[in-house]
Homo-oligomer: A and B are copies of this chain.
């Protein structure tokens, strides 16, 4: 039987609040190894861009990454956030190792092909180097990935953290029984956006189509759920969406995705 592996993705809303983040990192440290953390960016990159007089350019909720903005996300995601998260985990006796996709060639991507929109240095993932990640896991280390990848031609690329999480989960499923947990500010996928108690506890592909038609799942949740189903269709055993406490407390409500 394959060993269990927990992969957790945290979004900007957890990172933006210092106390929330510290509390999450204490909880995460208590998950039995092996485990992997993937973190998004949060508002710090936008603040930094503004402080430097740059106007962040967003199209359809996605950042357009020109040269100057790539510098900023590389500094903030791979430097400031990734190393602070790593240092805090080390303090909690979790042997974290902070990584970008360039490190040990862990995540290969290509610059997004221009169709209608030029997203600049945005990366679409081609390949996750699970043997490199296995080296870390087999030696008791906990990889912590930021949302920066590379193209093996020397170019760093800004890459969606939800996608990185599902691609890593897919790749690690070759050797592990993977549980993928998306943590965000809500308790799960909600029937009614205003009611935190209206968590839809189970969503499968059939009910997902129905929820889309009824417009209950819309906008930002759509790509997130597409990532979830993509992971499930490619060997990931379980996908969960919930608030950060879900990683240590399964008694609360959360959403489980299934095929």
Contact = CB atoms under 8 A, between A and B. Distances in A.
Contacts of A213: none
Contacts of A95: 104-105
B87 A83 contact: no
A180 interface: no
26 contacts: A51-B52, A74-B80, A74-B83, A75-B76, A75-B79, A75-B80, A78-B78, A78-B79, A78-B83, A79-B79, A79-B80, A79-B83, A83-B100, A84-B156, A86-B100, A86-B102, A86-B103, A90-B102, A90-B154, A91-B154, A95-B104, A95-B105, A96-B102, A99-B103, A104-B136, A135-B135
A71 interface: yes
A150 interface: yes
Contacts of A156: 83-84, 87
A58 B87 CA distance: 26
A139 interface: yes
A154 B85 CA distance: 9
A163 to B, nearest CB: 19
Interface string A50-81: 01100000000000000000010011111110
Interface in A154-194: 154-156
A152 B79 contact: no
A153 interface: yes
A33 to B, nearest CB: 13
Residue from the set A87, A95, A105, A135 with the largest chain B CB neighbour count within 10 Å: A87
B150 A87 contact: yes
Interface in A83-113: 83-84, 86-88, 90-91, 95-100, 102-105
Closest 8 CB pairs of A and B: A79-B79, A75-B75, A91-B154, A75-B79, A87-B102, A78-B79, A97-B104, A87-B150
Contacts of A48: 75
Contacts of A79: 74-80, 82-83
A71 B132 CA distance: 29
Interface string A97-133: 1111011110000000000000000000000000010
